[in-house]
């Protein structure tokens, strides 16, 4: 068996279709649009965004498969000696309306060059606005159990990598309660492909039960204000730090697709510091000192 890029592209497209159907049923008020885009130089993708008045304020599930000459300013270190590249992936973001329901991000990707180099990357992470320990535990245990079924997966290491990657150094805090993050997996590609297929098919299992527990909880204007302030941190990470955003813009991917992960509404109020002992301060405590959830 060997890696066949067309089969990976097909799998990512199937995950997109399945998740769009799943979360349309959950939201029940809106549907995902379909926007196809072409990349100058080779390839393109399909951007699917749901925006409505239901429990999901915004959700985006995007797939792409791009190829061509390696851009001169590409920051991907494993492609620095290559002339041509191929990259495909699926990325997604869910921004619930209810402040008690956490944001979730996931992506799966495959990259190869004309030098023979090839690798997988990906991960899932959870970003709550209010901390519910049972949600973080469910999310992490789901990922831990999937990793435990594959010798190529390393939940403890990838959990640490996630905590380190999704971190805002200018705020000295994590973006959320993490998950797993892996990149540049160059060995045993067939086994990694098998692992990633199970992971992709389990995204709904990891996140949807959490949403179902939280989307009908009552909240007020103070909770909504805090949610929008925390979304500001999310936007800061995506625009200033995230390598996926940088890669998409560097390779000429559709700009709207690359930036579809941004929340629809945010606030940047000056010097926001929650009072000690409040639910808001409890979240911050976890963000400055990551925990073991699984």
Q: Which residues are catalytic?
A: 105
Burial (CB < 10 A; 0-12, 13-18, 19+), residue 183, is middle
Number of helices (H), then strands (E), belonging to the chain: the values are 9, 9
Query: Which one, of 1, 30, 15, lies nearest residue 106 by Cα?
Result: 15
Tokens of 158: 């990838």
**DSSP per residue, 4-57:** -HHHHHHHHHHHHHHHHHHHHHHH-S-----EEEE-TTSEEEEEEEEESSSSEE
**Residues with Cβ < 8 Å from 74, sequence gap 6 or more?**
80, 85, 247, 250, 251
Separation between Cα atoms, residue 30 and residue 52, nearest integer Å: 6
Instruction: Name the DSSP class of 171.
Output: T
Query: Which one, of 220, 223, 221, 232, lies nearest residue 269 by Cα?
Result: 232
Residue with structure tokens 């959990």? 159
| Three-class DSSP category at 84 | strand
Separation between Cα atoms, residue 24 and residue 28, nearest integer Å: 6
Residue with structure tokens 């000192």? 289
């Amino acid at each position: 068996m060997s890696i066949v890029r067309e089969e990976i592209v097909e799998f990512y497209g199937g995950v997109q279709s399945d998740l769009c159907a799943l979360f349309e049923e959950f939201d029940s008020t809106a549907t995902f649009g379909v926007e196809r885009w072409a990349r100058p130089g080779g390839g393109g993708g399909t951007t699917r965004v749901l925006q409505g008045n239901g429990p999901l304020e915004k959700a985006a599930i995007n797939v792409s498969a791009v190829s061509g000459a390696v851009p001169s300013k590409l920051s991907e270190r494993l492609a620095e000696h290559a002339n041509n590249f191929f990259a495909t992936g699926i990325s997604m973001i869910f921004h619930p309306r209810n402040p008690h329901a956490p944001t979730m991000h996931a992506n799966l990707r495959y990259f190869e060059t004309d030098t023979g180099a090839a690798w997988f990357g990906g991960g899932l992470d959870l970003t709550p606005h209010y901390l519910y320990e049972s949600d973080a535990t469910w999310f992490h245990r789901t990922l831990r159990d999937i990793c435990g079924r594959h010798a190529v997966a390393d939940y403890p290491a990838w959990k640490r990598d996630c905590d380190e990657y999704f971190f805002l150094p200018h705020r000295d805090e994590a973006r959320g309660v993490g998950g797993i993050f892996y990149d540049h997996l160059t060995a045993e590609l067939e086994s990694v492909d098998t692992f990633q297929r199970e992971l992709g098919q389990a995204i709904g299992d990891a996140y949807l039960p959490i949403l179902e527990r939280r989307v009908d909880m009552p909240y007020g204007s103070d909770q909504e204000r805090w949610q929008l302030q925390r979304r500001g941190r999310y936007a800061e990470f995506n625009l200033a730090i995230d390598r996926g955003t940088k890669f998409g813009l560097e390779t000429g991917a559709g700009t709207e697709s690359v930036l579809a992960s941004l929340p629809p509404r945010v606030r940047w109020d000056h010097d926001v510091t929650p009072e000690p002992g409040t639910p808001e301060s409890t979240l911050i405590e976890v963000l400055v000192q990551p925990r073991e959830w699984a």
